[in-house]
Amino acid sequence: MSFLNSEALIDLLVSEQLLTDQQRQFIVLHKGRQRQKLIKQQLACRRQDDDCKQEKELPDLVDIIVSFDLESGSDPKVPLTEEMIMRAVSNGLKIPFKKLDPLELDISIVTKTIPRSFAINHLILPFAMHDGILEVVTYHPDNHLVLEDIERANQVTVRPYLSTRTDIKKILAEFFGFQRSITAAETQFGTTGTSSTIDIGNLEQYVRLASTKELSSSDQHIKAAVNHLFSYALEQRASDIHIEPKRDLCLVRFRIDGILHTIYKLPKAVHSAITSRIKSLARMDIAEKRRPQDGRIKIGRREEGQEAEIRVSTVPVAFGEKTVMRILNPDVIFQSLDNIGFSRRDRVVYNSFMSSAHGIVLVTGPTGSGKSTTLYSTLKQIASPEINIITVEDPVEMVHEEFNQIAVQAQIDVNFSTILRNILRQDPDIIMIGEIRDLETATHAVQAALTGHLVFSTLHTNDAVSAIIRLEDLGLEPFLIASTMLGALAQRLVRRICPHCAEPYAVDAASLRKLGFPVTGKETVELKRGKGCLQCRNTGYLGRLGIFEIFPMSDQLKKLIATKANDSELRQVAIREGMTTLREDAWHKVQAGLTTVEEALRVTGEIDVV
Ligand SMILES: [Zn+2]
């Protein structure tokens, strides 16, 4: 007879003051009958519900004591729970108690050291391994022979901890179920999966994220793991999720405010199952593992009525398929133009672009500089039922119901140019062209502007006036540039100082001047930085902010364009006419305590100081 089924347990609980003498008498008197009652309940449950069929163990004395709904012997207001009993046993028998946290556990240690059936039969869970010591939680304090078997089989010393049967069983089911359940999850997806999702169109697949409560009780472990990954990424404000196969394990990393953090190290065995799950959600070919693929997933969170879109891409690397998922959070993509970081002057100039009847506005910057956010936020602000907005994108980044969005499909020869050739028949007022890459697209943009349309587009240039040079390099006539272009802006994203832990500090003015910041007079300057706190994961930063340089087309610039002036001549005129450079705008935001010197230098480092 095991300890947890013996009267020695009751004695221990009394001496640990968890039970009173009166309660002891009550339990001893009624336990036989209560056991019969619990067994009957189990049988009834087994007939009704498949879940109960796995329930093999008969109720033990711990179950019986808990089922009496007693109060704690030391505190009548507290109901007696399984964890309280096991903590008392731990105390009485001098075996430490371990509260299991699934996020702390190394799944590979759990699943590699002992077979599943052995773990489940003996309610044993190995959870950590170091210096030849295997730490194991067990439910039964008198499991000595079993622990000795593990020591012999693994050539280790076992250090036992006690935990509750409920926790051990739950984690064993989740971990050992991980691999087995992906097969089931995939099969289910193939047959009935689509019925539980909402189809929004060819482009996307809609997946409702279960709430956290549902996740833990779900039996579809891979599904739950992937759902957990998505909701955790949203919760952490991650912009990208990387799933990288290594030789022995699989790394899950999140990009948060521009910086990659390793979040999980999963056993290698789970990698392909998780990748397959993501690929099937993104409607990619699960069987194709040697070619790069793209797809997208739309996720919504029930509680918050929030939706996000995830762009998925997979590429084969040395140890398997690497998956990168870009999370397009509508809260971030569609912002109020008041919040993205325009200075007052820049906002006035940009507003004049937006209220123009026709012309071309160019947004420039490298990948990841926030161009899409600026354009989407602009279109959203302009959008109204009377205005027809058409976008041509490669690919469509974020779907918005007020825009008519057309995706470039190079493989069937639907490119920017072919779409733009036909788009004017759709009577648009405003056209957004994802990117101008060639003369043909540039020419279509000019034609649209000349026929009375407002055109927004992007170019890959480092600064604003280089947009003019780039269009010339593509082969566009200078007079067409001068007559259609309303202006251009260049932008970068800097990390915003965490408001929860911002603190002032003094910086030497001379050293700032050396770095190229326009600091005048004073010996020291007071700036701000983030100390690091829970809210910002000790990075000192929370969220991001745009820095801009923007110029409107002017008569002076038009003259220079006609004479094919170079970029530094154009730039000087733009600055003379009021343009704040990226470096200056960054410095203003450092002074305002919004970002740091380091961030300003990081994103404007490659720019020449004029
Ligand atoms: Zn902070």
pLDDT tens-digit series, residues 371-403: 999 999 999 999 998 999 999 998 887 778 889
Tell how far the Cα of 332 is from the centroid of ligand 1, in angstroms: 20
Q: Quick count: other Cβ atoms within 10 Å of Cβ 476? A: 20
Query: How far is the centre of ligand 1, averaged over its atoms, from the C-alpha of 604 (Å)?
Result: 24
- Cα of 589 vs centre of ligand 1, distance in Å, is 18
Give CA separation, 168 vs 138, 212, 339, in Å.
8, 19, 48
Is the torsion defined by CA of 593, 599, 600, 601 positive or negative?
positive
Please report, for residues 227, 247, 322, 325, 375, the alpha-carbon distance to residue 318 in angstroms, rounded to integers and kept in the order given. Answer: 27, 9, 9, 19, 38
Distance 544 CA to ligand 1 centre (A): 13
Q: 605 Cβ partners below 8 Å, 6+ apart? A: none
CA 537 – ligand 1 centroid, Å: 7
On whether the CB atoms of residues 394 and 407 are closer than 8 A, the answer is yes
Separation of 590 CA from ligand 1 center, angstroms?
17
pTM above threshold 0.85: no
Rounded Cα gap, residues 238 and 332, in angstroms: 11
Distance of CA 234 from the midpoint of ligand 1 (Å): 18
- State the distance from the centre of ligand 1 to the C-alpha of 583, rounded, in angstroms: 25
Cβ neighbours, 10 Å, residue 286? 17
Handedness of CA 161, 166, 169, 175 (dihedral sign): negative
Contact 559, 479 (CB under 8 A): no
Q: How far is the CA of 257 from the centre of ligand 1 (A)?
A: 13
Q: Distance from the CA of 350 to the center of ligand 1, in angstroms?
A: 32
Angle between the N-to-C axes of helices 439-450 and 416-423, in degrees from 0 to 180, rounded to the nearest 10 = 20
Distance 510 CA to ligand 1 centre (A): 28
Ligand 1 centroid–CA 504 distance in Å is 13
CA of 529 to the centre of ligand 1 (A): 10
| 3-state SS track over 228-265 | HHHHHHHHCCEEEEEEEECCCEEEEEEEECCEEEEEEE
Cα–Cα distance for residue pair 135/149, rounded to 1 Å? 14
CA angle 584–515–598, rounded 5-degree value: 75
12 and 92 in contact (C-beta within 8 Å)? yes
Ligand 1 center from residue 466 Cα (angstroms) = 37
Q: What is the pLDDT of residue 175?
A: 64
pLDDT tens-digit map of 111-150? 677 877 788 888 998 888 888 899 999 999 998 888 998 8
Beta strands at 293-301 and 306-317: parallel, antiparallel or unpaired: antiparallel
Q: Is 37 exposed, middle or buried (0-12, 13-18, 19+ CB in 10 A)?
A: middle
- The alpha carbon of 256 and the centre of ligand 1 are apart by a number of angstroms equal to 13
**Ligand 1 centroid to residue 259 C-alpha, Å:** 15
The CA 50 to ligand 1 mean position distance, Å, reads 48
For residue 440, the CA-to-ligand 1 centroid distance in Å is 48
Report CA(341)–ligand 1 centroid distance (Å): 20
Helix %, strand %, coil % of the chain (to 5): 45, 25, 30
Question: Which amino acid type is present at position 484?
Answer: T
What separation in angstroms does the CA of 526 have from each of 506, 508, 529, 587, 592?
A: 4, 9, 10, 13, 10
> How many angstroms does the Cα of residue 596 sit away from the middle of ligand 1?
13
Give the Å distance between the CA of 594 and the centre of ligand 1. 13
Query: How far away, in angstroms, is 360 Cα from ligand 1 center?
Result: 41
Query: How remote is the CA of residue 339 from the centroid of ligand 1, in Å?
Result: 20
Give 539 Cα–ligand 1 centroid separation in angstroms.
7
> Cα of 595 to ligand 1 centre, how many Å?
13
Amino acid identity for residue 602 in this structure = R
Determine the distance separating the centroid of ligand 1 and the alpha carbon of 255, expressed in angstroms: 17
CA of 598 to the centre of ligand 1 (A): 16
**How many angstroms separate the alpha carbon of residue 533 from the centre of ligand 1?**
4
Q: In the structure encoding, which two tokens stand for residue 173, read together?
A: 């089911």
Q: In angstroms, what CA-CA distances link 532 with 536, 538, 566, 586?
A: 6, 4, 45, 22
User: If you measure from the C-alpha of residue 588 to the centroid of ligand 1, how many angstroms do you get, rounded to a whole number?
Assistant: 21
Report CA(213)–ligand 1 centroid distance (Å): 28
Give 495 Cα–ligand 1 centroid separation in angstroms: 12
> What separation in Å is there between the alpha carbon of 501 and the centre of ligand 1?
4
Q: How far is the CA of 503 from the centre of ligand 1 (A)?
A: 10
Q: From ligand 1's centre to the CA of 541, what distance in Å?
A: 6
User: How many angstroms is it from 530 CA to the middle of ligand 1?
Assistant: 6
d(CA 493, ligand 1 centre) in Å: 19
Distance 502 CA to ligand 1 centre (A): 7
**Residue among 233, 254, 310, 249 nearest 279 (CA):** 310
Quote the crossing angle between the two packed helices 466-474 and 555-562, to the nearest 10°: 40
Block residue for tokens 């030789």: 247
The Å distance, Cα 605 to ligand 1 centre, comes to 25
Weakly modelled stretches of the chain, pLDDT under 50? 53, 178-179, 181-219, 608-610
What are the counts of helices (DSSP H) followed by strands (DSSP E) for the chain?
23, 20
98: its two tokens:
């371990």
Q: How many CB atoms lie under 10 A from the CB of residue 278?
A: 25
